[in-house]
Protein backbone atom coordinates (compact mmCIF):
# COMPACT_ATOMS: atom_id res chain seq x y z
CA UNK A 1 0.00 0.00 0.00
CA UNK A 2 1.19 3.55 -0.70
CA UNK A 3 1.87 6.11 2.04
CA UNK A 4 0.90 9.78 2.27
CA UNK A 5 3.87 12.12 1.81
CA UNK A 6 2.40 14.63 4.28
CA UNK A 7 1.44 12.54 7.31
CA UNK A 8 2.87 9.09 6.51
CA UNK A 9 -0.39 7.15 6.88
CA UNK A 10 -1.45 4.43 4.45
CA UNK A 11 -4.12 5.10 1.87
CA UNK A 12 -5.96 2.87 -0.59
CA UNK A 13 -4.75 2.55 -4.16
CA UNK A 14 -6.67 4.99 -6.40
CA UNK A 15 -7.57 7.42 -3.61
CA UNK A 16 -7.30 11.11 -4.45
CA UNK A 17 -6.98 12.41 -0.87
CA UNK A 18 -5.41 11.04 2.32
CA UNK A 19 -8.01 9.77 4.78
CA UNK A 20 -6.02 11.06 7.79
CA UNK A 21 -4.77 14.53 6.94
CA UNK A 22 -6.85 15.38 3.85
CA UNK A 23 -3.90 16.22 1.65
CA UNK A 24 -4.10 15.52 -2.04
CA UNK A 25 -2.28 12.36 -3.07
CA UNK A 26 -0.68 14.15 -6.03
CA UNK A 27 1.28 16.34 -3.58
CA UNK A 28 -0.76 19.55 -3.41
CA UNK A 29 -1.59 21.25 -0.12
CA UNK A 30 -3.96 19.50 2.31
CA UNK A 31 -7.61 20.43 2.45
CA UNK A 32 -8.32 22.04 5.81
CA UNK A 33 -11.76 21.97 7.30
CA UNK A 34 -13.07 24.94 9.27
CA UNK A 35 -12.72 24.29 12.93
CA UNK A 36 -15.45 25.33 15.34
CA UNK A 37 -14.60 28.04 17.84
CA UNK A 38 -13.02 26.96 21.11
CA UNK A 39 -16.15 27.79 23.09
CA UNK A 40 -19.35 27.40 21.04
CA UNK A 41 -21.47 28.59 23.99
CA UNK A 42 -19.54 31.86 24.38
CA UNK A 43 -22.27 33.95 22.77
CA UNK A 44 -25.25 32.01 24.10
CA UNK A 45 -27.11 33.66 26.93
CA UNK A 46 -28.21 31.40 29.79
CA UNK A 47 -30.87 32.40 32.34
CA UNK A 48 -29.33 32.03 35.81
CA UNK A 49 -32.24 33.32 37.91
CA UNK A 50 -35.73 34.65 37.28
CA UNK A 51 -38.17 35.96 39.86
CA UNK A 52 -40.84 38.41 40.95
CA UNK A 53 -41.34 40.58 44.04
CA UNK A 54 -42.44 38.41 46.97
CA UNK A 55 -43.86 40.78 49.60
CA UNK A 56 -47.38 40.20 50.94
CA UNK A 57 -48.93 42.86 48.69
CA UNK A 58 -47.07 41.48 45.67
CA UNK A 59 -48.32 37.97 46.43
CA UNK A 60 -51.89 39.29 46.45
CA UNK A 61 -51.23 41.03 43.13
CA UNK A 62 -49.94 37.72 41.78
CA UNK A 63 -53.21 36.00 42.62
CA UNK A 64 -55.11 38.58 40.56
CA UNK A 65 -52.32 38.53 37.93
CA UNK A 66 -51.45 42.19 38.45
CA UNK A 67 -47.86 41.56 39.57
CA UNK A 68 -46.18 42.56 36.34
CA UNK A 69 -42.60 43.05 37.52
CA UNK A 70 -40.14 40.34 36.48
CA UNK A 71 -36.45 40.23 37.35
CA UNK A 72 -34.07 38.17 35.19
CA UNK A 73 -30.35 37.50 35.58
CA UNK A 74 -28.62 35.90 32.60
CA UNK A 75 -25.00 35.05 31.95
CA UNK A 76 -24.55 38.40 30.15
CA UNK A 77 -27.05 40.94 31.52
CA UNK A 78 -29.65 41.90 34.11
CA UNK A 79 -33.22 42.73 33.04
CA UNK A 80 -36.12 44.28 34.96
CA UNK A 81 -39.45 44.20 33.11
CA UNK A 82 -42.38 46.20 34.49
CA UNK A 83 -45.80 47.27 33.29
CA UNK A 84 -49.24 45.83 32.68
CA UNK A 85 -50.24 47.53 29.43
CA UNK A 86 -47.14 49.52 28.57
CA UNK A 87 -43.91 47.60 29.14
CA UNK A 88 -40.69 49.08 30.45
CA UNK A 89 -37.48 47.04 30.26
CA UNK A 90 -34.29 48.13 32.04
CA UNK A 91 -31.12 46.26 31.10
CA UNK A 92 -27.59 46.38 32.47
CA UNK A 93 -24.71 44.42 31.00
CA UNK A 94 -22.89 42.41 33.67
CA UNK A 95 -19.64 44.05 32.59
CA UNK A 96 -20.98 47.41 33.88
CA UNK A 97 -21.86 46.18 37.40
CA UNK A 98 -19.71 47.84 40.08
CA UNK A 99 -21.24 46.73 43.38
CA UNK A 100 -24.13 44.81 44.96
CA UNK A 101 -26.01 45.44 48.20
CA UNK A 102 -28.80 43.63 50.09
CA UNK A 103 -31.12 45.43 52.54
CA UNK A 104 -33.62 43.69 54.84
CA UNK A 105 -35.92 45.10 57.50
CA UNK A 106 -36.97 42.98 60.48
CA UNK A 107 -40.25 42.12 58.74
CA UNK A 108 -38.36 41.25 55.54
CA UNK A 109 -36.10 38.88 57.49
CA UNK A 110 -39.13 37.13 58.99
CA UNK A 111 -40.66 36.73 55.52
CA UNK A 112 -37.34 35.65 53.96
CA UNK A 113 -37.27 38.52 51.46
CA UNK A 114 -34.98 41.47 50.80
CA UNK A 115 -34.11 44.23 48.36
CA UNK A 116 -31.05 43.77 46.15
CA UNK A 117 -29.45 46.97 44.84
CA UNK A 118 -27.18 46.79 41.80
CA UNK A 119 -24.78 49.71 41.37
CA UNK A 120 -23.47 50.09 37.82
CA UNK A 121 -21.59 52.36 35.43
CA UNK A 122 -24.65 52.47 33.17
CA UNK A 123 -25.70 56.08 32.51
CA UNK A 124 -29.41 55.32 32.14
CA UNK A 125 -29.69 53.14 35.27
CA UNK A 126 -26.86 53.70 37.76
CA UNK A 127 -28.91 51.87 40.43
CA UNK A 128 -31.22 48.97 39.73
CA UNK A 129 -33.46 47.65 42.52
CA UNK A 130 -34.76 44.11 42.86
CA UNK A 131 -37.48 44.98 45.39
CA UNK A 132 -38.68 42.44 47.95
CA UNK A 133 -37.27 39.30 46.28
CA UNK A 134 -37.25 35.91 47.95
CA UNK A 135 -33.84 34.83 49.35
CA UNK A 136 -32.06 38.03 48.31
CA UNK A 137 -28.65 36.96 49.64
CA UNK A 138 -28.60 33.85 47.42
CA UNK A 139 -29.63 35.93 44.40
CA UNK A 140 -26.81 38.36 45.23
CA UNK A 141 -24.32 35.48 45.30
CA UNK A 142 -25.59 34.17 41.93
CA UNK A 143 -25.26 37.64 40.43
CA UNK A 144 -21.82 38.21 41.95
CA UNK A 145 -20.51 34.96 40.47
CA UNK A 146 -22.02 35.79 37.06
CA UNK A 147 -20.40 39.25 37.09
CA UNK A 148 -17.01 37.79 38.01
CA UNK A 149 -17.28 35.08 35.32
CA UNK A 150 -18.29 37.59 32.64
CA UNK A 151 -15.44 39.96 33.54
CA UNK A 152 -12.92 37.11 33.51
CA UNK A 153 -14.24 35.89 30.14
CA UNK A 154 -13.74 39.39 28.71
CA UNK A 155 -10.33 39.97 30.39
CA UNK A 156 -11.59 42.89 32.46
CA UNK A 157 -10.05 43.55 35.84
CA UNK A 158 -11.43 45.93 38.44
CA UNK A 159 -9.08 48.47 39.94
CA UNK A 160 -10.05 50.96 42.57
CA UNK A 161 -9.08 54.52 41.95
CA UNK A 162 -6.60 55.49 44.63
pLDDT digits (tens, 9 = 90+) for 53-112: 886 665 555 555 566 889 999 999 999 998 878 789 999 999 999 999 999 999 999 989
Domain segments of the chain as ranges: 1-35, 47-153
Which long-range CB contacts under 8 A does 76-85 form with residues at least 24 apart?
Answer: 76/45, 76/150, 77/45, 78/118, 78/128, 78/143, 80/128, 80/130
Q: What is the pLDDT of residues 113-131, one digit of tens each?
A: 999 999 999 888 899 999 9
Domain 47-153 is in which class? mainly beta
Amino acid sequence: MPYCTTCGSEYKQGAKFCGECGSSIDGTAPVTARRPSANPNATQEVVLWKGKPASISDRLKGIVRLNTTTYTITSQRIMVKTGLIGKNVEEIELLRVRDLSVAQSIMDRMLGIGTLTVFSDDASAPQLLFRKIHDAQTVKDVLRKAVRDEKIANNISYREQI
